[in-house]
Amino acid sequence: MLFTFSRTLLAATLAMSFAVPAYSAEPHKQIQTGAEQYKAPALKLLERLVNIDSGSGYEPGLTQVRDIAVEELKQLGFSIELVPDKAANNSHVIATLKGTGKAKILLMAHMDTVFKEGSAAERPFHIKDGRAYGPGVMDDKGGIVAGIYALKVLKDQGFKDYAQITFLLDASEETGSDAASELIRTTAKGHDVTLNLEPGRPADGLVVWRKGSATAVVEVKGKAAHAGVAPELGRNAAMEGRIRSCNWANWATKRRKPPSTSPCSRPATASTSSPTRRRPRRTYARHCRKSLTGSRRTWPVFRRIS
Ligand SMILES: [Zn+2]
């Protein structure tokens, strides 16, 4: 019953929010019509959100994005709770809507992006050949918009067959959701099903399984010495840290396509960064510096390095 609900109505609504025809389930006519009617305002909202810089930790932009989303959710009848988070330099949002049915559904999206301030001005939202472009347009502002408009379509249908729909907006996903992890864990436990509104695959199906994410902190202890006068007395921790990071990224890359570049820049779902830096961990640095933090997004690999 719950599965049927999530697959055929809410999921279909989400999948059809932008009316991509490749979705394999039979289209629900009313939902499809509703979604098509909302295409213009949905794109307008997407444009507004994309044109606001909201890189992880950038308080002014995150606040703007949060306020816009909260306003939309309030209009849909949601009750809003803000959960302040110093590490995110902002608040996460827990919005709840009560229905008359049995299932508790959690929708999740995130407000932060991997893009620094100025990105939106540099390459603002635009549509070319039927595709929308701009910083965070897909990941995850498109997710926020898809969720909001799916809910609008359902509201228009008078659909209330759920006990509760919760919309959780994370302000720190691109830094690994460190502070939000516990909030997500406890919130998800109180629900029957979770739909994470991250970008899926080009065919627009539902992704039902993804990699995990984890971070290991690698500390390297060396021996201080003067590199010019007595290098043989020292052990350079920075160099060792860099080599180990690169070896790790190199090793993690082996399951991917054969690389033609150096280990530090190869395409792997492993990345390294310094624990003290704010740069989103899932982005690559321009330079391979002494990197002591690593993240690897598949559990078996993470277990091997930890
Ligand atoms: Zn994302």
Tens digit of each residue's pLDDT (9 = 90 or more) over 138-173:
999 999 999 999 999 999 999 999 999 999 999 999
Is 178 among the catalytic positions? no
Peptide bond preceding 140 in cis form (omega within 30 of 0): yes
Residue 53, C-beta contacts closer than 8 angstroms, at least 6 positions apart: 61, 113, 115, 116, 117, 118, 119, 120, 121, 135
Query: What is the model's pLDDT at position 255?
Result: 54
Q: Which two tokens stand for residue 160?
A: 């209330």
* Percent above pLDDT 70 for the chain: 70
Q: Cα dist. 83→61, 86, 112, 179, 253 in Å?
A: 17, 10, 15, 11, 37
Query: What is the model's pLDDT at position 254?
Result: 60
Query: What is the model's pLDDT at position 2?
Result: 30
- Judgement on whether residues 51 and 136 belong to the same structural domain of the protein: yes
Q: Which of 164, 196, 228 is the last residue of a domain?
A: 196
Burial label, 231 (beta-carbon count in 10 A; 0-12, 13-18, 19+): exposed
* Percent above pLDDT 90 for the chain: 52
- Tell me, in angstroms, the distance from the centre of ligand 1 to residue 110's CA: 7
- Judgement on whether residues 244 and 138 belong to the same structural domain of the protein: no
Confidence of residue 212 (pLDDT cuts 50, 70, 90): low
d(CA 174, CA 273) in angstroms, rounded, equals 13
Q: What is the mean pLDDT of residues 271-292?
A: 49
- Tell me, in angstroms, the distance from the centre of ligand 1 to residue 198's CA: 5
- Judgement on whether residues 128 and 219 belong to the same structural domain of the protein: no
Report yes or no on 204 lying in a domain.
Answer: no
d(CA 126, CA 50) in angstroms, rounded, equals 10
pLDDT above 60 for 107:
yes
- Judgement on whether residues 74 and 191 belong to the same structural domain of the protein: yes
- Tell me, in angstroms, the distance from the centre of ligand 1 to residue 171's CA: 11
Highest-scoring range by mean pLDDT, 61-70, 234-243, 254-263: 61-70
Q: State the chain's mean pLDDT as an integer.
A: 80
- Judgement on whether residues 136 and 221 belong to the same structural domain of the protein: no
Q: Say which residue the tokens 């549509």 belong to.
A: 127
- Tell me, in angstroms, the distance from the centre of ligand 1 to residue 224's CA: 41
User: Which of these is catalytic: 47, 53, 72, 112?
Assistant: 112
Report yes or no on 205 lying in a domain.
Answer: no
- Judgement on whether residues 249 and 157 belong to the same structural domain of the protein: no
Confidence of residue 205 (pLDDT cuts 50, 70, 90): confident
Query: What is the model's pLDDT at position 176?
Result: 80
Confidence of residue 251 (pLDDT cuts 50, 70, 90): low
- Judgement on whether residues 72 and 175 belong to the same structural domain of the protein: yes
pLDDT above 90 for 122:
yes
Instruction: Please report, for the domain that includes residue 30, its CATH number.
Output: 3.40.630.10
- Tell me, in angstroms, the distance from the centre of ligand 1 to residue 205's CA: 17
Query: What is the model's pLDDT at position 262?
Result: 53
- Tell me, in angstroms, the distance from the centre of ligand 1 to residue 29's CA: 30
Report yes or no on 201 lying in a domain.
Answer: no
Query: What is the model's pLDDT at position 270?
Result: 57
Amino acid at 50: V
The DSSP bridge pattern shows strands 293-296 and 270-273 to be: antiparallel
Phi-psi region of 17 (alpha: psi -120 to 50; beta: other; left: phi over 0): alpha
- Tell me, in angstroms, the distance from the centre of ligand 1 to residue 197's CA: 8
pLDDT above 90 for 116:
yes
pLDDT above 90 for 128:
yes
User: Which of these is catalytic: 53, 140, 173, 174?
Assistant: 173
- Tell me, in angstroms, the distance from the centre of ligand 1 to residue 239's CA: 32
- Judgement on whether residues 9 and 91 belong to the same structural domain of the protein: yes
- Judgement on whether residues 187 and 227 belong to the same structural domain of the protein: no
Report yes or no on 108 lying in a domain.
Answer: yes
Q: What is the mean pLDDT of residues 254-281?
A: 52
Report yes or no on 202 lying in a domain.
Answer: no
Q: What is the mean pLDDT of residues 47-52?
A: 98
Q: Give which of 38, 9, 50, 62 is closest to 149, Cα–Cα.
A: 38
Q: Which of 165, 196, 227 is the last residue of a domain?
A: 196
More confident residue, 6 or 92: 92
- Judgement on whether residues 142 and 241 belong to the same structural domain of the protein: no
- Judgement on whether residues 69 and 175 belong to the same structural domain of the protein: yes
Worst-scoring range by mean pLDDT, 42-51, 121-130, 243-252?
Answer: 243-252
Report yes or no on 48 lying in a domain.
Answer: yes
Report yes or no on 209 lying in a domain.
Answer: no
Report yes or no on 271 lying in a domain.
Answer: yes
Buried (b) or exposed (e) across 49-66, using 16+ Cβ within 10 A? Answer: bbebbbbbbbeebbbbbb
Q: What is the mean pLDDT of residues 106-119?
A: 96
- Tell me, in angstroms, the distance from the centre of ligand 1 to residue 174's CA: 7
Number of structural domains the chain divides into: 2
pLDDT above 50 for 293:
no
Highest-scoring range by mean pLDDT, 16-25, 103-112, 190-199, 266-275: 103-112
Is 170 among the catalytic positions? no
Q: Which of 136, 161, 196 is the last residue of a domain?
A: 196
- Judgement on whether residues 53 and 184 belong to the same structural domain of the protein: yes
Range of the domain at 149: 2-196
